[in-house]
Amino acid sequence: MNLLTHPTPDPEHWRRIEAVLDLALEAEPHEVAELLDRECPGAPQLRREIEALLEADRQAGGLMAVAAAVMLNPFADDFAPPPARIGRYAVTGTLGRGGMSVVYEGLDETLGRRVALKSLPPSFAQDPIRLERFVCEARLLGAIADPHLTAFHGITRDGTRRYLVLERVQGQTLAERLLTGALGAPEASGIAAQIAQALATMHRFGIVHRDLKPANVMITPLGLVKLLDLGLAEVSAVSSADTTAWARAGTPGYMSPEQIAGAGQDARSDVFAWGVVVWECLTGTAPFAGATAAERIAATLERGLDAALLPADTPAALRATVLAALSRDPAQRPADGDALAGAATANASSPPTLPAPLPAHDPTAIRFVGRERERRELSQLLEHTALVTLTGPGGVGKTRLAHAVATERFSTVWFAELADAHDDPAIEAAIARAAGLRNMTRHALLEALAAAPHACLVLDHCEHIAPELAHLLTLVRAFAPSLRIVLTSREPLGEAGEQVLRVPPLDCPDPEAVTAHDGHAAAAVDLFLLAAQKALPQAVFSSDDMRTIAVICRHADGMPLAIELAAARLRDESLQSIASSWAHGQGEVRTDDAVRENIRWSLERLGAREQRFFRALHVFHGGWDFGSSARTVCPDEDPFEALDCLTALIERSLVTIERVDRNEPRYRFLEPVRQFAAECCDAAGETAALRARHRDTYLAAVETLAPTLVHGAAQARGLAWLEAEQANVLAALEYDEGDMDSAQKALRLAGAMWWFWYVRGHFTRGRAALAAALARAHAGAPTPARALGLFAAGGLAVFQRDYRDGRRLSTEALAIFETLGDERGVARAASHLALCDGGEGRFDDAARLYERAVAIFRRLGDVRRLSATLNNLGVLDRQRNDFAAAYEHHAEAIELFRKADDRDGMVVTLLNLALAATRTHRDTAALTHLREALALVMELRARRAGAAALEVAAEVLCARSGHAAAAECLGAAEALRVSMRLPADDWWRRMTDTLAHTLRTQLGPDVFACHDAAGAERGFSQAITHALHSLSSDVARTAT
C-alpha cells in the first residue's frame, strides 16, 4: 500500500484518513481497535489503510535512522587529498572512505610495519562523552588482542585530527569473496567458526560489534578471518531524526529486528548478523535482499526464510545454528559468540583441528597447565597463518608453548635459539644447525627447508635481531611458502602477515578467597600443585596451605618457571619458609642483570614520552586502571596521550594486563620491571612529585567515592574498586612529605576509607592505618579531618570490642565535633560511645546516648543514620532480653534503610530482625529476612556482616532441625571471625555458645566436630552460598 502513488496522490482521500489517523496516533495501542470500530463503521478499506499506516509508523524508525545518518554527511565523497605524514607514519595510500571517516595506509618507519590509519570524525573532539566512551573502547581493544580481531596499535594525530592505528590486513573482504557466488559448505563452515570465535572474545569482554557484515570481515590469503571495524569510531551522530546519539545506524539487511525498532542492541544482535552472513556464505545471496535500504528493512521484519535454500551438504549442526540465529525473537537465538562457536563447530564437516586435552597423569601435561587456551589458539592459528609470533615478558613460557604445540602438530620441527645470534650469518647458522645441516650455502639451506612436507620452524628469542631476521624471513617464506614459522619475542616483529599471540602470565587467585577445594580455579596454583607432586608425591595441602601457595604464586607474578622452581624447593623446605623467602625477595629466577638488560633494551627503542610514562608507573602497587594512570602521570594532557603510551608499553611486554573488570582493564608491572622503573624514576629525580600526585589522585578518587559507598546500587561497585586498589591506597597513606599538609591529606584519605574497611572486615588494617595517620597529624588545631579520623578509628575499635580504645577515641572525636559545631558528628560519636556502654553492660547510659543521637538525627532529617541508631537501640533491647521492643525498633529501622537504599544497613538490620523474629515466634518472617540478608551479604562481599549472618542462619537452621547445616555455619562463622579478629559481644557469644551446645547434644560431639570443621574449611563465598542453599530447600526439615 502506498498512498503517495496510488495511482496519483489524492489529497481529498488523505484528509479523510488523516482525521482518524490523528486520533489513532494519540491513543494507547490497546485502544486503537475500539477507536477504529467507532470511526470507520462500514468502511473496511479506510480502516485497512489506517492500520497499514500505523504499522508503517512502528517500522519507520529504523529507516529514518539510516536516512538521517546519510543526511548528516551528504558530501561524503568529496575529499581532500591525504596528508603526507600522520604522526610517525608515512601515508602510502588510501584504503577507503566511509560516511564519516577515511582510512589511509601508513608505514611505520621505525618498525617497518604497515598499518591502517582510520580517522575519527571531528565531532568527536568536541563531545566529551563520546570521547570518553571512545577512549574506553580503545583500551579494551588494546587489552583483548585476539588474532581474529584486527590488532590495535594506538592512537596518533595529525594536527587536530586523530587517527586509530590498526593492523593492516592483507587479503580480501568477505564481500569481495562473495561476488563470485556461494562458498562451499566446508569453507563457509570454517569462516562461520572463526567469526563466531571473534564474537566470543568480544562478548566475553562485554563489547557488542553492532555492524557485522561481509564488508567488515577480512580473509587473509591463508584463510584467517579477522573482524574489522569494531564499533570503535562508528558510534554515529544520529541525533536529528529518531534515535538517540549513541545508536549506531547499522546496515539494512544485517540489522536485527530489534535494532530496526530502535530497541537496545546486545550480543544477540551480533548473533543475528552472524546468521545473515553465514546464510549468505552458504547460499550466495543475502536472506533479506532488496534494492533499497527500505526494502531490506521491510524484508527483515516480514519475510520468512526458506530453509530449503541452504545447500544440502550443510552440516546439520551449522544449519540448525544459522536458523536459530535468524530468529526474530532474540530470546530464541544463541545467546552470544561462545554459544555460536560451540554449536556451530559440533560435527563440523572439516576434521577437528583442536587437540584433545591431555589426561592429568601424562608427564608432558605439565607443559600445558594453564595454557589450554593458548595451546588451542596457537594450534588453530597455524592452520591459517604462516608466521605466528608469541609475545610476552621473559619467563612467561613462550618457548615452552611454541615447542610443545609445534611438536604436537608437525612431523618435522626445527628449533633454533637466536638469543646469541647478532647478525645475518649467525641466524643462518643457527637455523642450519637446527635442521641438522652443515656447510651449506644459503640457497641449499632454503631448498632443504622447502623440501620438508609438513614442517615448522621455531625461532626463539628474536627480539634483538628483528631487522636482520626480516630479510632472511622474506627469503625463507618465498622459497618455502607452506613452511610454518613460529617466533618467540618480547615484542612483535612488525612483519607483513605476522599474527601476534600474546602469552600472559598465569592467573593467580586471591589468597583470601582460596580454599583446599577450589585450587583448580586458578592456573598458577594448578601448576604449583603439579610441580609439587613431583617433588613430594604424597603431599596433601590444607586450606591454609592453599592460601600460602596462592601468596607464593602472587609473588612469582604468575610466571611459570618461577612457580615451578618454588614448588621444587618443597623437597627440602616447608611451604612457610618458601613463602617468607619470597617475601624477602630471594625468589628471583633469573639474575637481576639479565632481566634489567632486557628491559633496558626494550625501553631504549621507545620515545622520551613513553619512557617517562614507563618510569612514572612504578608508583602504583598492585596494578592500576587507566584513569588513575592518566590522572597521576599526565594530568594536563588529554587521555589519548596516556593511552598511546600505555599501548606501546603493552605491545613490548613491559606492561601486563591483569584482567578486565566490567569493561575496565587492569594493568600491572611484573615486580622486577617495577623495581627497574622505580630506579629509573629516582635517577630522573621525578619520584617525589609522582608520589605526591599518586597520593592526590587516590585521595580525590576515594573522597569522591566515599558517599556512594553507603547506599545505592553503586555500593557494590565502589567497594570492589577499593578492594582492587588497596595496595595503592596503603602506599598513598604511607607517603610522607614531612609537612602538615601531607599529614592532613593522609588523615583525610584514611577517614574516607573507613567505611570500606568496616564493611569488608579489614578492621586491623584499618585501625593501624588510622593510628599512623592520626599520629602524623597530631600537632595542629583540631580539624574536621582529625575528628573524622578519630571517629573512624574509634568505630573500628568498638567493633573489635576494644572498648577502651573505642571510648578514648570516640570521646576525643565528640569533643572536636562539639568545638566545630558539627551536630551530626556529635550524634555519630555519641552512638559509638553508646556502643561501648552497651558492650560493657551499662545499658541505661547507652540508652541515654542513643536517645540524644536519635533526636539530633531526626532534627537533621538524616534518615540513614537515624535508622542505624534505631537499629542499635534494638540491639540494646535484645541485650536486655526484651525481644518484642527489639523487633519494633528493628522494624522501624529496616523501613528507613530500604528507603535510603543503604544495603549494608539493610543487612545488619535484617539479621537483627530475623533473630528477634525467632525469639518472638515469627518463624516465616525470620526465614524471609535471613535469606534476604544473606543475598545482600554476597552482593556486598560484606565479611563483617557475613560472620553474624552465618550465626543467625545457624540459629534458624537449628530451629528447623537442620542441625548438620547449622553446625557447618557455626564453623564457618568462627573461622571468619578469627581471620578478621572480630569477636562478638557478650550477648551474642552466649547465644552462639548455647547454640553450639544444643547442636552438640543433637548430633553427638564427634559428628558436630566434623561438621564444624567442614564449615571452617569453606571460604566466605562458599559458606554463604551453602547457607542459602540449606535454607531454601526443606532438606533442613529432615533430621541428619
Partner 1 sequence: MGSEDITRLLHEIRAGDPGARDALLPVVYAELRAIAHRRLSPGARDAVLDTTALVHEAYVRLFDRAPLDWADRRHFFAVAAIAMRQIIVDHARKRNAARRGGGQAHVNLDDTQVAVEQQAGEIVSLHEAILRLSQLDARLARIVELRFFGGFSEEEVAEIMEMSARTVRRDWRKARALLYQDLASPEQA
User: What residues numbered 238-267 form the site for partner 1, per CB under 8 A?
Assistant: 240-242, 251
Q: Which is nearer to partner 1, 237 or 820 (CB)?
A: 237
Question: For 158, which DSSP code?
Answer: E
CA distances from 1013 to 84, 980, 1036 (A): 73, 18, 19
78 counts as binding partner 1 under rule CB under 8 A: yes
For 520, the grid coordinates are 583448580
Specify the amino acid at residue 975: A
User: Is-contact 522 495, C-beta < 8 A?
Assistant: no
DSSP characters over 619-686: G-SS-EEHHHHHHHH-TTS-HHHHHHHHHHHHHTTSSEEEEEETTEEEEE--HHHHHHHHHHHHHHT-
Of the residues 46, 47, 73, 771, which one makes contact with partner 1 according to CB under 8 A: 73
User: Is-contact 171 219, C-beta < 8 A?
Assistant: yes
Q: Which is nearer to partner 1, 174 or 619 (CB)?
A: 174
Q: Which of 108, 211, 270, 904 is catalytic?
A: 211
Of the residues 30, 75, 438, 1006, which one makes contact with partner 1 according to CB under 8 A: 75
122 counts as binding partner 1 under rule CB under 8 A: yes
Footprint of partner 1 on 293-332 (CB under 8 A): 293-295, 297-298
Site string for partner 1, 845-884 (x = CB under 8 A): ----------------------------------------
Provide the minimum distance between the beta carbon of 225 and partner 1 in the complex, in angstroms, as a whole number: 15
Q: Which is nearer to partner 1, 20 or 466 (CB)?
A: 20
Residue 167 three-state SS: strand
Provide the minimum distance between the beta carbon of 173 and partner 1 in the complex, in angstroms, as a whole number: 6
211 tagged catalytic: yes
161 counts as binding partner 1 under rule CB under 8 A: yes
Provide the minimum distance between the beta carbon of 78 and partner 1 in the complex, in angstroms, as a whole number: 4
Specify the amino acid at residue 74: P
Footprint of partner 1 on 123-142 (CB under 8 A): 123
Other CB atoms within a 10 A radius of the CB of residue 1033 amount to 10
Which contacts (CB < 8 Å, 24+ apart) does range 163-166 have? 163/86, 163/87, 163/104, 163/117, 163/118, 163/119, 163/120, 164/117, 164/118, 164/120, 164/138, 164/232, 164/233, 165/89, 165/106, 165/115, 165/116, 165/117, 166/115, 166/116, 166/117, 166/118
Of the residues 19, 22, 467, 740, which one makes contact with partner 1 according to CB under 8 A: 22
Of the residues 28, 29, 30, 77, which one makes contact with partner 1 according to CB under 8 A: 77
Q: Which is nearer to partner 1, 67 or 873 (CB)?
A: 67
Q: Which is nearer to partner 1, 59 or 961 (CB)?
A: 59
1 counts as binding partner 1 under rule CB under 8 A: yes
Q: Which is nearer to partner 1, 101 or 380 (CB)?
A: 101
* Closest by Cα among 953, 958, 976, 959 to 1027: 953
97 counts as binding partner 1 under rule CB under 8 A: yes
Of the residues 20, 36, 40, 63, which one makes contact with partner 1 according to CB under 8 A: 63
Paired with 163 in beta bridges are 119, 156
Q: Which is nearer to partner 1, 60 or 935 (CB)?
A: 60
For 747, the grid coordinates are 588523615
Provide the minimum distance between the beta carbon of 126 and partner 1 in the complex, in angstroms, as a whole number: 11
Q: Which is nearer to partner 1, 212 or 705 (CB)?
A: 212
Part of the chain binding partner 1 (CB under 8 A), chosen from 59-67, 451-459, 634-642, 799-807: 59-67
Other CB atoms within a 10 A radius of the CB of residue 237 amount to 17
Question: For 991, which DSSP code?
Answer: H
For 501, the grid coordinates are 599471540
100 counts as binding partner 1 under rule CB under 8 A: yes
Footprint of partner 1 on 169-208 (CB under 8 A): 172-173, 175-176
Q: Which is nearer to partner 1, 170 or 1025 (CB)?
A: 170
Of the residues 27, 35, 43, 60, which one makes contact with partner 1 according to CB under 8 A: 60
Of the residues 110, 285, 292, 482, which one makes contact with partner 1 according to CB under 8 A: 292
Q: Kindly report the three-state secondary structure assignment for every residue of 393-430.
A: CCCCCHHHHHHHHHHHHCCEEEEEECCCCCCHHHHHHH
Of the residues 27, 35, 43, 54, which one makes contact with partner 1 according to CB under 8 A: 54
Part of the chain binding partner 1 (CB under 8 A), chosen from 16-24, 393-401, 863-871, 1019-1027: 16-24
CA dist., res. 413 & res. 435, Å (int): 8
Quote the Cα angle for 943-944-947, to 5°. 80
CA dist., res. 1012 & res. 1010, Å (int): 5
Of the residues 34, 37, 48, 79, which one makes contact with partner 1 according to CB under 8 A: 79
Part of the chain binding partner 1 (CB under 8 A), chosen from 100-108, 258-266, 760-768, 1024-1032: 100-108
What phi, psi does 51 have (nearest 5°)?
-60, -40
Provide the minimum distance between the beta carbon of 497 and partner 1 in the complex, in angstroms, as a whole number: 16
User: Is-contact 309 183, C-beta < 8 A?
Assistant: no
Footprint of partner 1 on 211-230 (CB under 8 A): 211, 213, 215-216, 228-229
Of the residues 43, 87, 99, 720, which one makes contact with partner 1 according to CB under 8 A: 99
Q: Which is nearer to partner 1, 10 or 37 (CB)?
A: 10
Provide the minimum distance between the beta carbon of 161 and partner 1 in the complex, in angstroms, as a whole number: 7
**Element housing 501 (H / E):** strand 499-502
On the CB side of 952, how many CA atoms lie within 13 Å of its CA? 31
* Closest by Cα among 206, 202, 219, 107 to 156: 107
Q: Which is nearer to partner 1, 285 or 332 (CB)?
A: 285
56 counts as binding partner 1 under rule CB under 8 A: yes
End-to-end CA gap in the chain = 73
Cis peptide bond N-terminal to 7, omega within 30: yes
10 counts as binding partner 1 under rule CB under 8 A: yes
CA distances from 142 to 274, 439, 841 (A): 24, 45, 60
Which contacts (CB < 8 Å, 24+ apart) does range 302-308 have? 305/279
Of the residues 20, 36, 40, 67, which one makes contact with partner 1 according to CB under 8 A: 67
Site string for partner 1, 537-556 (x = CB under 8 A): --------------------
74 counts as binding partner 1 under rule CB under 8 A: yes
Provide the minimum distance between the beta carbon of 94 and partner 1 in the complex, in angstroms, as a whole number: 9
Instruction: Count Cβ neighbours within 10 Å for each residue of 263-287 and write b for 16 or more, e otherwise.
Output: eebbbbbbbbbbbbbbbbbbbeebb
Size of the residue set binding partner 1 (CB under 8 A):
75
Provide the minimum distance between the beta carbon of 55 and partner 1 in the complex, in angstroms, as a whole number: 8
Residue 103 three-state SS: strand
Footprint of partner 1 on 977-996 (CB under 8 A): none
Enumerate the active-site residues: 211
